[in-house]
Chain A
Amino acid sequence: MDQIMEEDFRVIDNCLIIRLPEEVDHHQAGYISENADKHLLRKEVRHVVFDFENTRFMDSSGIGIIMGRYRKISCFGGRVYAIHADSQIQRIFKVSGLHKIVEIM
């Protein structure tokens, strides 16, 4: 199973882009959240983009990651986006109600 690495976090303009691993579960969640928060401390970062291109599995731990980041940036007018989410991931969004706060593109 692949692990998420430092280079999966990139800042482009005012967006933090996080390329998520193949499986987003509790086992990986802590590292993703911790690293994301390190980048969020940089002043220029306003929005967060979760890239699901490589992701084939996500459980409620992924919802926790996204909700946590949303809480941190929404009060400063930041937005959370999800890109390349396949139909399974979109079902998870729908069941959890997350599609109301995340822009799925």
Chain B
Amino acid sequence: MRNEMEILFDAISDNEGFARVAVAAFVSHLNPTLEELSDIKTAVSEAVTNSIIHGYENLYGYGRPGRGPAAAQEVHPGKVQILCALEGDMLQIQIKDQGKGMENVEQAMEPLFTTKPELERSGMGFAFMEAFMDDLEVESSPGQGTTVRMKKKLGCGSWIEV
């Protein structure tokens, strides 16, 4: 069975929750485990957050409720696109922005590397995507935006024991 979906939304932090829940809902009919759902939500959240705060440098919002104008008025919102494809039990997610891109993808993917320490970004975003998904590909160049492709086979259960 093949199934696809595509969503496009403004790059504001208010949409982070929406994006991960939408992807989780898309796979829900496959009856994934709670752990798989949580993995997918975390990975999507990381990639979308990266697009918003690094790709579009939209630092407004940043979790300050009720202060100043709404995030969408404050900044020039770019768009983040999520494409999901299910083929059997294989989920593919592509998260794409037209933001400023990165010069050095390898460095960005190093654990603990961050260009925004003042925001207390932990530098664990790509490490989480790698840990929680089965496959991760990042394509980016300066001025050209960033595309993150992730794959996960569903129905495998846990592989990180607590």
Q: Which A residues form the contact surface with B (CB < 8 A)? A: 1, 3, 23, 25-34, 57-61, 63-65, 67-68, 87-88, 90-92, 94-96
Number of B residues with CB within 8 Å of any CB on chain A: 33
Contact of B45 with A by CB under 8 A: yes
Do B65 and A3 have beta carbons less than 8 Å apart? yes
Known: A26-B16, A27-B13, A65-B120. A95 touches B160 (CB 8 A): yes
Give the distance in Å from the alpha carbon of A29 to the alpha carbon of B45 in the complex: 13
Secondary structure dominating the interface of B: helix
Do A67 and B162 have beta carbons less than 8 Å apart? no
The 9 closest A-B pairs by CB, nearest first: A30-B62, A64-B122, A64-B120, A60-B124, A30-B63, A63-B122, A27-B13, A59-B45, A31-B63
Secondary structure dominating the interface of A: helix
Name B126's closest neighbour in chain A (CB-CB).
A60
Give the distance in Å from the alpha carbon of A57 to the alpha carbon of B34 in the complex: 11
Do B16 and A27 have beta carbons less than 8 Å apart? yes
User: A104: shortest Cβ distance to chain B, in Å?
Assistant: 10
Do A1 and B17 have beta carbons less than 8 Å apart? yes
